[in-house]
């Protein structure tokens, strides 16, 4: 069995979660969301699959008010 075939459904789910949240979820939050959807995966696996898919979390920049 090929690894690409093994994680095909998971990759689709990761991509869906990523786009549902406008690219703001990183591997930790996506792992938690996958657990809610009954995909039990290690966070390291999710991190590796996201890297393969080219999905990177967009970091929110906090605006500082000086007033």
Segment 4-61, tens digit of pLDDT: 579 999 999 999 999 999 999 999 999 999 999 999 999 999 999 999 999 999 887 8
Q: Which of 67, 56, 51, 65 is nearest to 22 (CA)?
A: 56
Which pTM value belongs to this model?
A: 0.81
The 3-state DSSP class for residue 63 equals coil
Annotated domain spans of the chain: 3-53
The pLDDT assigned to 61 comes to 83
Q: Is 24 in contact with 57 (CB distance < 8 Å)?
A: yes
Q: Confidence band (pLDDT; 50, 70, 90) for 1?
A: low
């Amino acid at each position: 069995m090929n690894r690409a075939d093994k994680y095909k459904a998971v990759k689709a789910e990761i991509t869906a979660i990523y786009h549902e949240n406008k690219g703001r979820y990183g591997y930790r939050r996506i792992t938690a969301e996958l657990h809610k959807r009954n995909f039990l995966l290690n966070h390291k696996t999710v991190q590796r699959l996201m890297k393969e898919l080219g999905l990177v979390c967009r970091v929110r920049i906090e605006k500082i008010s000086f007033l």
